[in-house]
Amino acid sequence: MTAPLRIAIAGLGTVGGGVLKALQLRAHELAERAERRLEVVAVSARDRSKKRAGDVSKAFWHEEAAALAGSEADVVVELIGGEGGSALALIETALANGKHVVTANKALLAKHGARLAAQAEKGNLALKFEAAAAGGIPIVKALRESLIAHGINSVHGILNGTCNFILTDMEKTGRSFAEVLKEAQALGYAEADPALDVGGGDTAHKLALLASLAFGTAPDLKHMHVEGIAHITQADIGYAREFGYRIKLLGVARRVGGGIEQRVQPAMVRAGTPLGAVDGAFNAVAVDAGEAGPFFFEGRGAGEGPTASAVIADIVDIALGSFEPAFGKPAHTLTPLVPAPEGTAASAYYLRFDVLDIPGVVAEIAGRLAEAQVSIESMLQRGRNPGEAVSIVMITHETPQLAVARALKSIATSDKVLGAPSMIPMEMG
Ligand code: NAP
Ligand code: HSE
């Protein structure tokens, strides 16, 4: 066997601890796969006294993560998190010092990925990030190496385990958003700042990486519509069920009108479709790969086990000397993303209006929708006592997003409508 691959791990939390544990528990099998031993020679975290998932006693402990870049390691595994700070400094210095890099840090890569990919290529080094998108699902490898023959038309899916866990639990148990979020944090699914999960930012980071791999563009967060799930109510979840749908936070990237549309937003997905059946912390990614056809990937999207699995797959690839450009093609050929013309994407929409239950209110809403050329497919209103607030829910026919937005702006000015209307696109499953 060749010399062991020497590994330094920065960050020993949910993911780093899981990687360390799996490398130790499965050392023999992984050495056979990698055709050499995988040896953790150095580690770093903030608190040396904390108990870790794996044994750190045989690795050199560095107080400063940056010191790992100067260690004897061949590969630096960055599992600290954060788009800049210690994580970025470590990756830049490790590459500068001729070390391969593996990271699960989508926030950092969505922002600095193209530049770091160029730096890695210059040094003939690997920059690998399978764990950064969709947890244990091997979607990065699939887009980077496998689905390349015919081009990709679209990539869309459930990319945040925390949000899917929250939406699934709220639907099944009726528990509150805040209560379920706490559980997702305790299970190790959420980011250090869970606002990134529930605000859609984490899905945006992952979508930027997948879009880059799919379309050969540099990761782009600027041309992306991003909404989270914090405004989704038990009422929306209940109405979705009545219409035969479930609410999922989706990331969608697709070719539209000569450009690329990227958006993150809650969507109504038909119950019983593959995407509509994805529950809990699972993720799923649907890829339209042109003549190769549609593909659907599903698996655990967050937590120790699946994420460690993806990190270790990258480490083994490096041990075997298999490393391609980080985004599938040389970094200098990644083109800037040309955004799709705004508002042209069309979809059917779920609309909810909280209104005063008085004569003429439905006619007024319907009239303003008609003025904007928005046609209604179905409607639901639960009666209360005359004069009380009530919700009116409508599903539209397929309509350009701009037309619906125009109609809602007009409807929001009505004195019969209370608060901002809610608008959720209906997506293919
Ligand atoms: P975590 O549990 O909060 O762990 C972070 C680790 O980094 C901790 O061990 C912490 O040390 C250490 N750390 C923080 N600042 C440091 C510094 N300046 N120098 C050295 N170590 C430092 O986070 P995580 O969930 O494992 O996530 C790590 C990365 O993986 C993030 O980029 C995240 O987005 C990504 N990721 C996470 C998941 C998941 O399911 N959790 C899935 C995919 C990707 P202490 O332990 O001493 O505090
Ligand atoms: N916080 C992320 C999630 C971790 O919930 O999906 C996996 O990337």
User: What does the mean pLDDT of the chain come to?
Assistant: 95
pLDDT number for residue 419: 85
- In the chain, what are the domains? 5-132 (3.40.50.720), 139-300 (3.30.360.10), 346-427 (3.30.70.260)
- Stretch 345-358: mean pLDDT: 89
Instruction: Give the residue from 92, 81, 53, 2 showing the smallest Cα distance to 318.
Output: 2
Q: Is the CB of 306 under 6 A from ligand 1?
A: no
Question: Residues 373, 343: contact at Cβ < 8 Å?
Answer: no
pTM of the full structure: 0.95
Active site residue 206: yes
The structure tokens listed for 419 are 């608060």
Q: Is 285 a residue whose pLDDT tops 90?
A: yes
Whose alpha carbon is nearest atom 1 of ligand 2?
190
Whose alpha carbon is nearest atom 30 of ligand 1?
104
Q: Is the CB of 201 under 6 A from ligand 1?
A: no
Q: Is the CB of 189 under 6 A from ligand 2?
A: yes
Question: Residues 101, 78: contact at Cβ < 8 Å?
Answer: yes
Whose alpha carbon is nearest atom 22 of ligand 1?
45
The structure tokens listed for 257 are 């009108």
Position with higher pLDDT, 249 vs 383: 249
Whose alpha carbon is nearest atom 21 of ligand 1?
45
**Per annotation, catalytic residue among 99, 106, 206, 248:** 206
pLDDT number for residue 386: 62
Q: Is 321 helix (H, G, I), strand (E, B) or coil?
A: coil
**Which residues on neighbouring strands pair with residue 7, listed in sequence order?**
40, 75
309-338 pLDDT per residue, tens: 999 999 999 999 988 999 999 999 999 999
Q: Is the CB of 79 under 6 A from ligand 1?
A: yes
Task: Give the Å distances, CA to CA, from 214 to 131, 221, 290, 366.
Answer: 17, 15, 12, 40
